[in-house]
């Protein structure tokens, strides 16, 4: 099976892929690197899941 090119995916497409393929370590790694690059430090996959959930929830203003 050929894996997608995660580096070429938009952040949104990568997030969707990770949610659909939770066991794909390469995709999780790419998403984690992107999140950390944006200044958010992650200590676990659970924290990554929390970040994704926060982004999916409507913003409260």
**pLDDT confidence of residue 59:** 55
pTM above 0.85, yes or no: no
Q: Is the pLDDT of residue 61 over 60?
A: no
Tallying the residues shown for the chain, one arrives at 61
Q: Residues 17-48: pLDDT tens digits?
A: 988 998 899 998 898 888 888 877 777 778 87
Contact by Cβ (8 Å): 45, 39: no
Q: Is the pLDDT of residue 14 over 90?
A: yes
Contact by Cβ (8 Å): 31, 47: no
Q: Which of 59, 22, 58, 4 is nearest to 48 (CA)?
A: 22
- The three-state secondary structure class of 55 is helix
The mean per-residue pLDDT over the stretch 10-17 comes to 92
Transcribe 7-36 into DSSP letters: GGS-HHHHHHHHHH-TT-HHHHHHHHHHHH
């Amino acid at each position: 099976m050929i894996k997608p090119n995660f580096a070429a995916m938009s952040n949104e497409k990568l997030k969707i892929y990770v949610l659909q393929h939770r066991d794909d370590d390469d995709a999780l790694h790419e998403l984690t690197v992107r999140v950390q690059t944006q200044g958010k430090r992650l200590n676990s996959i659970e924290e990554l899941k929390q970040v994704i959930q926060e982004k999916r929830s409507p913003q409260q203003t």
